């Protein structure tokens, strides 16, 4: 399997994830602003998850372009990542529909934490493949640090949710902020 096929497959799965998430946004039964306002937690959970999936998609795209070869290890690590991503519509809907219950918030954090961990495993394989290119290895190690911080925050939010749902949700919003900080890019010719 070439890079194009694994990227196309992954893009298809991610497109389905986003589609399922938006289909969970059901309009209110009543045509009133108070009825719409009651959907605020559902919409905010969708918005947060959409941004997180978008960040994952962009990083996944760049990560796959760093691969030298697509082997069985890459395919299984990619499937692992996509599995955790495929649960995002479920945990997003549960989070929005049951706000402010701690268990759905904790499960949301665990899913995203395991997804971040899956991303880290895939990135480790990329680093293994490009180990002879020091600048590219350094670039991926900087990104791996960001990835590890994200996984730690997500997994920690699961425990925090049982003390404060709002603190755990604030932790979720930190991750997009971390990824919107501009990154020193390696020249495009390396990817």
Sequence ranges of the domains in the chain:
3-190
Angle at 64 between CA 5 and CA 148, to 5 degrees: 140
pTM equals 0.92
- Are 137 and 130 a contacting pair, CB within 8 Å? yes
User: Cα 77 to chain center, whole Å?
Assistant: 15
pLDDT digits (tens, 9 = 90+) for 33-70: 999 999 999 999 999 999 999 999 999 999 999 999 99
pLDDT bracket for residue 180 (50, 70, 90):
confident
- CA dist 121 and 78 (Å) reads 9
The residues near 86 (Cβ < 8 Å, ≥ 6 apart) are 13, 17
Q: Which whole-number Å values give the CA distances from 165 to 5, 52, 172, in the listed order?
A: 40, 19, 11
The helix-helix angle for 134-160 and 102-129 (nearest 10°) equals 170
pLDDT digits (tens, 9 = 90+) for 87-121: 999 999 999 999 999 999 999 999 999 999 999 99
- CA dist 1 and 69 (Å) reads 9
């Amino acid at each position: 399997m070439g890079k194009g096929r694994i990227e196309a497959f992954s893009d298809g799965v991610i497109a389905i994830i986003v589609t399922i998430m938006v289909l969970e946004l059901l309009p209110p039964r009543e045509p009133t602003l108070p009825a719409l306002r009651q959907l605020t937690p559902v919409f905010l959970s969708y918005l947060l998850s959409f941004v997180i999936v978008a960040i994952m998609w962009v990083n996944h795209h760049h990560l796959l372009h760093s691969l030298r070869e697509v082997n069985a290890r890459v395919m299984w690590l990619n499937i692992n990542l996509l599995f955790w991503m495929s649960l995002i519509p479920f945990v997003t809907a549960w989070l929005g529909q049951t706000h402010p219950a701690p268990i759905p918030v904790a499960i949301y954090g665990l899913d995203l934490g395991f997804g971040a961990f899956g991303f880290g495993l895939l990135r480790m394989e990329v680093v293994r493949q490009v180990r002879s290119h020091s600048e590219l290895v350094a670039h991926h190690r900087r990104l791996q640090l960001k990835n590890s911080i994200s996984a730690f925050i997500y997994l920690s939010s699961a425990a925090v949710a049982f003390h404060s749902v709002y603190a755990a949700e604030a932790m979720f919003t930190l991750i997009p902020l971390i990824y919107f900080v501009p990154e020193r890019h390696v020249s495009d010719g390396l990817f």
